[in-house]
Structure 1
Amino acid sequence: MIPDPLAWLACAAAVAVGCALQRLSGAGFGMMASPVMVLVAPEWMPATVLLLGVAVGIGSAAQGWDAVARGDLPPGMAGRTLGAGVAAVVATAVVGTEALPLVVGIVVLLGVALSVAGLRVPITGATLFGAGTTAGVMGTLTGIGAPPMALLYADVEARRAAATQNAFFGFGMIVSLAALAAAGLIGLRHLAFAASLAPLVPLTLWASRPFAARVEKGAIRPWALGLATLAATVLIVRTLA
């Protein structure tokens, strides 16, 4: 019910790196874990990334809960719920087919493009709802839902931005899982694979905690985007070859 050892190790490395990026910057888990996992273990996607994402998001948000902008949460979470429902309908036609790797690769590159575009979007109820809806669609289909919210919080103080995005991320994973479960796309094999990787989440969160107050979001951003771009490019080339 889990991949072969080499595939498991590749997934474990991607989960650990993605978890550390998520904790420190508020984005990066899905963009790192999803393309690697769909390369080596596509039959476990996207449910496994979403299951692990719940622990990553909640654990990361809990460590910085005092910095969360709580007033931003309701409209963003409402949008995320709507987007997850829409995506669940699309997922029934994509998950388990050869189209999924291509969708994941394109979504990762779209996320990178949004991150480097330099756009400045004000944080309002309407933009939070719109970003949440977009994140809900992207996250439910691929496990990558952070980029739209990261765009809104690009100029917000690093600790507040990371904590708030982590709160959105954790909630988003929960509603995306609920949507996929309602569509019949989550089974025991996903739960078993996620359980085998789950211990890496608290271990990585604990190991990265000393760096949270010292590492600037901008310092790790180029590395995160570079790794995500490389993984997505390999995925797309392999799918189209």
Structure 2
Amino acid sequence: MDINLLIAMLLIFCGSFIQSATGFGLAVVAAPILIHLSPEFIPGPIIIVGLFLGIINSLRYRANISFAGLKHGIMGRIPGTIAGAVLLFYINVAELSLLLGIIVLMAVVISLLPIKLEPTPRRLMIAGFLSGLFGTSSSIGGPPMALLLQHQQAHLIRANMAAFFVAGGIMSLFVQIPIGFMTLHHLYISLPLLPAGYLGYRAAHHFIDRFSQQIVRRMSLVLCTISGSGALFSGVISIWGT
């Protein structure tokens, strides 16, 4: 088996573990490194894995999903997804790496801020738009919504983020088809990643009661800082050298 594929599967396992434990984190952990292994993994194949995780986590937490609360975020995601597709069409790999690094590090900083934003309908629509923009162009669409939902109970965060990822993932994949970022090839290379994603999901729910939410959150922030810094540095070097 190709070493790059093994690394990709390991990254997907780690990202799936974090996402299933906290509500989001798959692309934040995996995308900044995957883009250097093979740019074709970004954004389509990661979104496919995210959609898969969203479905199985939604089924697990279906009793806790609040569709009334999510509808405003989903409404905002629609124009954001279109804007993300336009952005994806015009940027190259180096610029995408730079964008990934900036988004991930911004997510880390925002997560550390001592602020509490109530998820009002207006804020949910704005977060949904940003999620669509960043999720479609870079596969990292979780942080804007997670920021608004982060002070809810853990099972509510997991449930509603999972349902949002299902709706958002379908939208993003749909608009990526006509611009060539979701083809049969992208579907094919995503298939080996799905078992790794499922194992991460299973591991998270096996250990979820053994680690506090705070410990898992700190682990994810460390991983995100490392991967985001690497992507940012690589993007700057690539752009500087052109």
**Does the pair score TM above 0.5?**
yes
Question: 168, 181, 184: which is aligned to 2:180?
Answer: 184
Q: How many angstroms apart in 2 are the aligned matches of 1:193 and 1:118?
A: 40
1:6 is matched with: 3
Match of 1:206 in 2: 202
Identical residues among aligned pairs (%): 28
- Report if aligned partners of 2:132, 2:141 keep a CA contact under 8 Å in 1: yes
Equivalent in the alignment of 2:240: none
- Among 17, 27, 30, which residue is 1:30 paired with? 27
Once residues 58 and 113 of structure 1 are traced to their aligned partners in structure 2, the CA distance between those partners, rounded to angstroms, is 29
2:117 equivalent among 117, 121, 143: 121
Distance 1:217 1:78 in 2: 30
Alignment of 1:50-199 (within 5 A): 50-94=47-91, 96-199=92-195
1:199 is paired with a residue of what secondary structure? helix
Contact in 1 for aligned 2:98/2:234 (Cα 8 Å): no
Q: How far does residue 189 in structure 1 lie from its aligned partner after superposition?
A: 2.1
How far apart are 1:213 and its partner, in Å?
A: 4.7
The residue aligned with 2:14 is: 17
Q: How far off its partner does 1:150 sit?
A: 1.0
Contact 1:22 1:60 in 2 (8 A): no
State the Cα RMSD in Å.
Answer: 1.6
Which structure 2 segments of 5+ residues have no match?
A: 238-242
Q: Distance in 2 between matches of 1:107 and 1:89?
A: 18
Task: Calculate the TM-score normalised by the size of structure 1.
Answer: 0.92
Shift of 1:214: 5.1
Q: 1:27 to 1:56 in 2, by over 3 A?
A: same
Q: Could you tell me which amino acid in structure 1 is paired with residue 19 of structure 2?
A: Q
CA offsets 1:5-59 (integer angstroms, 9 cap, x no match): 1211111111001101111110111101111211211133111111111101111
1:164-191 CA-partner distances (Å, limit 9, x unpaired): 1121122211111111113232222211
Partner-residue secondary structure (3-state), 1:221 = helix
Counterpart-to-counterpart distance in 1, 2:43 and 2:206: 31
Out of 76-85 and 231-240, give the one that drifted further: 231-240
Letter in structure 2 aligned against 1:136: G
Report the residue type matching 1:39 in the other structure.
H
- 1:107 CA displacement: 1.1
Q: 1:136: Cα distance to partner?
A: 0.6
For residue 79 of structure 2, give the secondary structure of its aligned residue in structure 1.
Answer: helix
Residues 23 and 65 from structure 1, CA distance in 2 versus in 1: closer, same or farther, beyond 3 angstroms? same
Flag structure 1 segments of 5+ consecutive residues without an equivalent: none
Structure 1 window deviating more from structure 2 (209-218 vs 36-45): it is: 209-218
In the other structure, the counterpart of 1:237 is 233
TM-score normalised by length of structure 2: 0.92
